[in-house]
Amino acid sequence: MKIVVLDGYALNPGDLDWEPIKALGECDFYERTPVDDKKEILRRIGEAQIVLIHKIPMDAEVIASAPKLQYIGVLGTGYNVIDIAAAKKAGVVVTNVPTYGTDAVAQFTFALLLEVTSHVGLHNELVHKGKWSSSPDFTFWEKPLIELKGKTLGLIGFGRIAQKVAELAHAFSMEVIFYNHRPKKFKEDWLTQVSLEEVLQRADVISLHVFQTPETSEMIRKETIEKMKDGVILLNTARGGLLNEVDTAAALNSGKILAAAVDVAQQEPINEDSPLLTAKNCYITPHIAWAPQKTRARLLMIAIENLKEFLSGRHQNSIE
C-alpha cells in the first residue's frame, strides 16, 4: 500500500511522530506541495492508493487523473478543498477529523475576546517600553477596558466548539444566545436559542462557529453588519470566507464594529492587501487556534485511526 502525505509540515513541523503511518505502508512525506501546480500534485501522488492532505486541492481533474487512488484523508476538519461528488463518483473514500480541537479552539476564541477587552498584549508592551516607569500615577491604561459580566454573547452556529465557548462565557457571567441552522436540544437554563436576526441585533459580542458553505459565505457583510449593535465585537475562529473583508474593514474604520479578532482570513496566508491589515482595532492571528502540540497529536492519532479503519474495510469519519 502506497501512502503519500502532500503537506505535512503544518500538522507536524517536527514535534510529532510519523512512524505509526509508516507502519501502514510505503510512505512519501512532503512538507509542502504547491497548491496551484496540478502537475506536481499528480506527480507526487503517482501510483499511491492513499493520500493524506491538509489544504491541497483535490478537484475532479486531480481525482480522475490518479487512477489508483482509493482514499483521501484530511488532516483536519474542513474538506472544502476536495470535490466530494467527484470522489464519490470515482469510489474514493474521504475522511476528516471533526472533533479533535474543541477545547483548544474554544480557549483561543476566548483569548481573542480577552485581548480585545483587556488589552494585555498592548499594556505589556507599553510597560516594557518604560511608560509605567515614567508614569506620574500608580496605574494607566492606553485603551478603555471592558468588563464582560452582563454582556450578551451571540454565537452563530452551535456545534461542539460553540458549546464550549458558551460554557466559558457563562463562567464570565455573560448572557449567552445562539443561532443554529436547525434547532438544538440543550438542558442549560442560561442558554437561549434565537433567530439569526436576533443574534445580530442583540449581541454585544458575536462569535462565528459555522462551516463555510455557499449559504454561509460572506454572511458577515454590509447588510448584516447594519443590523448589529453599534460598537459590537466580532470574533472569527471558524473560516475566513464567512467575512466580507472589505465590508468588515469599513465597519471597523467607521466604529460600527468596535473591534474584530480573527484567526482566519479569506485567503491564507492572508493577502498583503487585505483591508483587515490596515483596519482599526482588528486583531489577526495566523490560523493557530488548532495548533497546540497536544491538540495536533490528537488530530494525527484520529487521522491514523481513520486510515486503519479504512484498511480494515470499515469507514470512520467518512464524508458522504
Which residues are the active-site residues? Answer: 239, 268, 287
Look up cell 442558554; give the residue.
191
Which residues face 283 on adjacent strands? 261
Give residue 139's region: left, alpha or beta (phi > 0; psi -120 to 50). beta
Look up cell 483536519; give the residue.
76
Look up cell 479569506; give the residue.
266
Cell numbers representing residue 136 in the block? 506620574
Report the DSSP pairing between strands 175-179 and 191-193. Answer: parallel
3-state secondary structure the chain: CEEEECCCCCCCCCCCCCHHHHCCCEEEECCCCCCCCHHHHHHHHCCCCEEEECCCCECHHHHHCCCCCCEEEECCCCCCCECHHHHHHCCCEEECCCCCCHHHHHHHHHHHHHHHHHCHHHHHHHHHCCCCCCCCCCCCCCCCCCCCCCCEEEEECCCHHHHHHHHHHHHCCCEEEEECCCCCCCCCCCEEECCHHHHHHHCCEEEECCCCCCCCCCCECHHHHCCCCCCEEEEECCCHHHECHHHHHHHHHHCCEEEEEECCCCCCCCCCCCHHHHCCCEEECCCCCCCCHHHHHHHHHHHHHHHHHHHCCCCCCECC
